[in-house]
Copies of this chain bind each other. A is one copy, B any other.
Amino acid sequence: MSNARVVSTSLGFERPLVTVDVVIFTVIDEQLCVLLVRRPDGEQEPFPGRWALPGGFVDVNKDVSLQACAERKLMAKTGVASPYLEQLGSWGDAKRDPRGWSCTHAYFALIGQPASIVDGDAPAEWLPCDLAVRRRLAFDHSSLLTAAIERLRSKVEYTSLPAFLLPEPFTLPQLQRVYEVVLGRALDKSAFRKRMLDADYLEEAGPVTGDHGRPAMGYRLRERERATVFPRGFKSGE
Q: Which residues of B contact A186 (CB under 8 A)?
A: none
A60 touches B94 (CB 8 A): yes
Q: Which residues of B contact A14 (CB under 8 A)?
A: 60-61
Closest B-chain residue to A232, C-beta based?
Answer: B232
Q: How large is the interface on A (under 10, 10 to 19, 20 to 34, 35 or more residues)?
A: 35 or more
Q: Which residues of B contact A87 (CB under 8 A)?
A: 89-90
A18 contacts the other chain (Cβ, under 8 Å)?
yes
* Cα–Cα distance between A6 and B14 once the two chains are bound (Å): 11
Knowing A89-B89, A90-B87, A93-B65 touch, does A99 contact B11 (C-beta < 8 A)?
yes
* Cα–Cα distance between A78 and B17 once the two chains are bound (Å): 30
Distance in Å: Cβ of A130 to nearest Cβ of chain B? 25
* Cα–Cα distance between A52 and B236 once the two chains are bound (Å): 42
Q: Which residues of B contact A9 (CB under 8 A)?
A: 3, 6, 8
Partner of A236, one of B57, B59, B231, B238: B231
* Cα–Cα distance between A13 and B11 once the two chains are bound (Å): 19
Distance in Å: Cβ of A107 to nearest Cβ of chain B? 10
Distance in Å: Cβ of A59 to nearest Cβ of chain B? 6
Interface string of A2-20 (1 = CB under 8 A from B): 0110101111111111100
